[in-house]
Amino acid sequence: MSLEVEKSADEIIIKPIGEFDFRLDEAFRKAYQNEKPDMRYILDLKKVTWLDSTALGMMIKLHAHTGGNIDIKIINSSSAVKEVFNIVHFSDMFEIL
């Protein structure tokens, strides 16, 4: 369980690795908390093996950080994770690719 972050002038890519759970809360928050809300945010879940409700909460907090006005892309989710997103209606807040 870890987190990689790639930043450019107008984009942040956050890449959780392994289990995406409460243990990543602080690192996840630090990845965006001092950034402008109008940045492009991408969550790359390619290396996520599991996530819990805390991870969903972290994603909602990121959405709130942007003021709900910025499309946050979630990419490379497994089919099981996409099903969870479907159940909790995350497509209303995120662009799931």
Q: What is the pLDDT of residues 30-57, one digit of tens each?
A: 999 998 888 899 999 999 998 999 999 9
In CATH, which superfamily holds the domain spanning 2-96?
STAS domain (3.30.750.24)
Q: Which pLDDT value is given to residue 38?
A: 84
56-88 pLDDT, tens digit per residue, is 999 999 999 998 877 799 999 999 999 999 999
The ranges assigned to domains in the chain are 2-96
Q: Which pLDDT value is given to residue 85?
A: 94
Contact between 58 and 23 (Cβ < 8 Å):
no
The pTM (predicted TM-score) of the whole model is: 0.91
Q: Which residue in 29, 76, 80 sits closest to 55, CA to CA? A: 29
CA 47 vs. chain centroid, Å, equals: 13
Contact between 93 and 60 (Cβ < 8 Å):
yes
